[in-house]
A and B are shown apart, each in its own frame.
Chain A
Amino acid sequence: MASVWRYILAGLGLAALLAGILAAVYLTLPQSAVGPDTSRSKKTQNGLFVASFEPERGVVRQGDLQSWVLTLKTAAGAPVEGAAIAVSGGMPQHDHGLPTSPQATDYLGDGRYRIDGIKFTMSGWWQLHFSISAAAGSDSVAFNIVL
């Protein structure tokens, strides 16, 4: 009788040890979540333009209405002027759109367009999508911003 209990105790002990080791390994592993591509400069979908997207005042702040600058260059590096830009976006993981309707409000020269009215109301993965029409043709690009 006593020996049966001993085996059970040993079994439980070993199982607990194993669980402990696994937990230790799991808890100390770096979080290897693969995030979306957050590069601030990229080729547009069909390669017509090179687009860069940066906050106008350098910092991204949650909850503030902000302006960003979208810079458009041709593949050869020439600034794209007179582009019509439509902005949309949202949070892909929350299945909802943007809390504001950002617009391209000003042309700042040298292929730079002010995109005003951007607001990130929560932390997480945001996506901004631009449809661009210019003399060279129409193309689109999406930027991911993770707060």
Chain B
Amino acid sequence: MRRLAGVAGLLALAALIVLGGCGKPEFSDAEKKTIASLALNTLPSLKPDTTNQYADLPAAAALGSTLFFDVGMSRDGTVSCSTCHKIDRQFQDDLPQAVGVGRTNRRTMPLAGVARNPWFFWDGRRDSLWAQALTPLENPLEQAGNRAAFAHYIKKRFGERYERIFGPLPDLSSVPANASPLGSDADKAAWNAMPAGQQDDVNRVYANIGKAIAAFERSIEPGQTRFDRFAIDLATGSKPEGDAAFSPEEILGLKLFIGKANCVTCHNGPRFTDNSFHNTGVPPVEGLPLDRGRVDAVAQVQADPFNCLGKFRDGDESACRELRFMVKDGVQIMRAYKTPSLRGAADRAPYMHAGQFTTLDEVVAHYSKAPLAVEGVSEVHPLDLSDRERAALVAFLKTLSD
């Protein structure tokens, strides 16, 4: 009997060691494939933007960079793009809602890889990087300017640089100092009194401002992280060394991210985003104006004279398929917001479209709990992750920042 027990015990121990330890690979082939698809080395080279013929012109990028950091590009001379998109802070501002001339209702988005987006802003209310760049310039809560004033300013400050890139500036001598189809009643009245040809002239200068800024922003790309070094080693079969080695907690977090926690469903590809819009039940912020996300952005992007189908686009209409085939209605776009990239996310709290969550722990807890949406239907289902699992997910997310 004693012998039998001893043999059984030894056999069992051997079986457990083989199955539980050495014999079992850390990641399955399917997991390895998913991990490889997230690594930065799979990011394709940036495609040309045919809607902006100046997109890859160094002189345009240089002027765009000047404009990006120039507080003269605002009504009161205190706000530039870089006020919220801070160069040393991943081009974001660490605030729950951006503050320009006034306080907005949305979180500033970081800019790494921004030129790869099909849609801009949290709700996709613009369809090109250059059309996006124009929007804060005239938003009364951001740069609060108007396009006639910007045209005059460009002529006065950067006329020569502008003309070397875009050709001769139009005659602005009879253009009012302040005029825009948006903005104050006085701005609108001044705009409406302008002949159509003059409006076109100003719009053309205005569009070119956006194209220059976009040319600059195309250079802002994500950098390699610990996760990428780990993923490359895993893909090539070499043992991750130094900071490329993951702790057991980080490995668990990565497994959850691409497995049980379903994060990779939307946060996929080397930018960790599907570039689409989802309702994930993120609660509204009390005191902010009604915000229904994508469902209200559809009409805005359609009405934008600087959208891809408008006359300020360069190249042909074949570049406009995202706009042409966008989802225009239905419950799935109610309170839907863009999937943000997770690269660098651990270093840029707070989170979500209006800074609803202060820490990544809160973010992960939200997705684990998956509360119902206040309007529309949340696509997220409860995960009931343990404390250990939630901490592991956060540990993994941090590897996308190191």
Query: Interface residues, chain A, CB within 8 Å of chain B?
Result: 3, 6-7, 9-10, 12-17, 20-21, 23-24, 27, 62-63, 65, 94-103, 116-117, 119, 121-124
B1 within 8 A of A: yes
CA distance A77 to B299 in the complex (A): 44
Please give the number of chain B residues whose Cβ is less than 8 angstroms from any Cβ of chain A in the complex.
Answer: 34
Cβ-closest chain B residue relative to A15? B12
CB neighbors of A among B1-35 (8 A): 1-2, 4-5, 8-13, 15-16, 18-19, 24
Chain B positions 303 through 328: 1 when the CB is less than 8 Å from some CB of chain A, otherwise 0: 00000000000000000011011111
Chain A residues closer than 8 Å to B321, beta-carbon distance: 65, 116-117
* A102-B332 in contact (CB<8A): no
**Which residues on B are within 8 Å of A, measured CB to CB?**
1-2, 4-5, 8-13, 15-16, 18-19, 24, 118, 265-266, 268-269, 274-277, 321-322, 324-328, 330, 332, 379
What is the bound-complex CA distance between A122 and B274, given in angstroms? 7
B9 lies within 8 A of A10 (CB): yes
**Within 8 Å CB of A20, what residues of B?**
12, 15-16, 18-19
**Looking across the interface, which residue of chain A has its beta carbon closest to that of B267?**
A122
Interface centre among B8, B11, B275 (most CB of A within 10 A): B8
Decide yes or no: A23 and B19 within 8 Å by CB, A13-B8, A122-B266 being known contacts: yes
Instruction: Report chain B residues within 8 Å CB of A119.
Output: 325
Nearest Cβ distance between residue B143 and chain A, in whole angstroms? 32
A116 close to B8 (CB less than 8 A)? no
Q: Bound state CA distance, A61 and B101, in angstroms?
A: 43
Chain A residues contacting B15 (CB-CB under 8 Å) are: 16-17, 20-21, 24
Q: How far is the CB of B269 from chain A (nearest CB, A)?
A: 6
Name the one of A6, A16, A27, A102 contacting B16, with C-beta atoms under 8 angstroms.
Answer: A16
Asked if A101 meets B326 with Cβ closer than 8 Å, knowing A6-B1, A9-B5, A10-B9, the reply is yes
CA distance A77 to B353 in the complex (A): 53
- Are the CB atoms of B269 and A117 closer together than 8 Å? no
Given A13-B8, A121-B266; 19 other pairs, CB 8 A cutoff: A6-B1, A10-B1, A10-B5, A13-B5, A13-B9, A13-B13, A17-B8, A17-B15, A63-B269, A63-B275, A96-B379, A97-B327, A99-B276, A100-B325, A100-B326, A101-B327, A101-B328, A121-B274, A121-B275
Expressed in whole angstroms, the Cα–Cα distance for A16 and B9 within the complex equals: 8
B330's nearest neighbour on chain A, judged by CB, is A97
- Closest beta carbon of chain B to A126's beta carbon, Å: 13
**Do residues A6 and B5 form an inter-chain contact, with CB atoms below 8 A?**
yes
